[in-house]
Structure 1
């Protein structure tokens, strides 16, 4: 049985990731209850960038790919309720490179997506709010926002 375009691409991306992943990041396809590898769902962790409010946190994220990948972007989600101006209450990431009507290109890799999301954590886009509380705090009460982010980071410690 031949692999779909999506699965072939994800198999190749997995090889590339293993060879050259950014320091501190984790990303691997999910293992099903029967021990099989599900290439269409990856469990990831994104480290908070050094010298930012997010430093010290290790943020869980799932990437769900469809059989239309790479023509269509994956859905990337943090845990529901994750606090950030560009993360929907469901946990879904709002980022132009993940929007097929905006910045998505089939050439964008898993690595580029994860690095882009790490960048988004510290540099929210006030022009694309996805969560009103975080957006209002970021745009109107920055000191309180910064305290809240440090609190969020402390809830996601790196594994030991």
Structure 2
């Protein structure tokens, strides 16, 4: 089987597993992209990550795109929020900076584990791996303003897809 076939086979299994056993927290969504002709593109998933209850992220349902290449699961998917997303570990482009999406990636990591890991990262950022200088500065020097910006962003993403 060609590597692209291996990737698609694994993603078909991930989709099946997600349907049976997605995170029990209300609001998580992960589904392959539907093309205009009605076919499914397993290589691009449209996801929603809910803000964790009891945090400044609560109430937001954050859109994320997971893009897989033909080498998946040997290589991690790329994960992107919308451009300009406010978070220390998200580049201005929306790309997520998370260890399990880079050097700590293992082929056994599932879509579910990636999404739950990103949800954890929202409220528990890694300031030692800053991707946005303005977020980092607020986080370190003006936590009330940082938290205010997070709550404002949650209001911009009020519902699921």
Structure-2-length-normalised TM-score? 0.95
Secondary structure at 2:151's aligned position in 1?
Answer: helix
Q: Give the aligned partner of residue 12 of structure 1.
A: 13
Q: Give the aligned partner of residue 118 of structure 1.
A: 119
Q: Give the aligned partner of residue 35 of structure 1.
A: 38
Separation in structure 2 between the aligned mates of residue 7 and residue 135 of structure 1, nearest angstrom: 37
Separation in structure 2 between the aligned mates of residue 67 and residue 116 of structure 1, nearest angstrom: 23
Secondary structure at 2:53's aligned position in 1?
Answer: coil
Q: CA deviation at 1:35?
A: 1.1
Structure 1 runs, 4 residues or longer, greater than 3 Å off:
none
The runs of 5 or more residues in structure 1 that have no matched partner are: none
Separation in structure 1 between the aligned mates of residue 89 and residue 139 of structure 2, nearest angstrom: 11
1:59 aligns with 2:92: no
Secondary structure at 2:30's aligned position in 1?
Answer: strand
Separation in structure 2 between the aligned mates of residue 53 and residue 29 of structure 1, nearest angstrom: 29
The partner residue of 1:46 within 44, 49, 55 is: 49
Is 2:48–2:160's contact at 8 Å kept on the other side of the alignment?
no
Q: How does 1:124-143 map to 2 (within 5 A)?
A: 124-143=125-144
Q: How does 1:50-129 map to 2 (within 5 A)?
A: 50-99=53-102, 102-129=103-130
Separation in structure 1 between the aligned mates of residue 52 and residue 104 of structure 2, nearest angstrom: 23
Q: CA deviation at 1:7?
A: 0.3
Q: CA deviation at 1:159?
A: 4.0
Q: CA deviation at 1:56?
A: 0.4
Which structure features the higher share of helix residues? 2
Secondary structure at 1:73's aligned position in 2?
Answer: coil
Separation in structure 2 between the aligned mates of residue 30 and residue 104 of structure 1, nearest angstrom: 23
Alignment RMSD: 1.4
Separation in structure 2 between the aligned mates of residue 69 and residue 16 of structure 1, nearest angstrom: 17
Structure-1-length-normalised TM-score? 0.95
Secondary structure at 1:55's aligned position in 2?
Answer: coil
Is 2:44–2:67's contact at 8 Å kept on the other side of the alignment?
yes
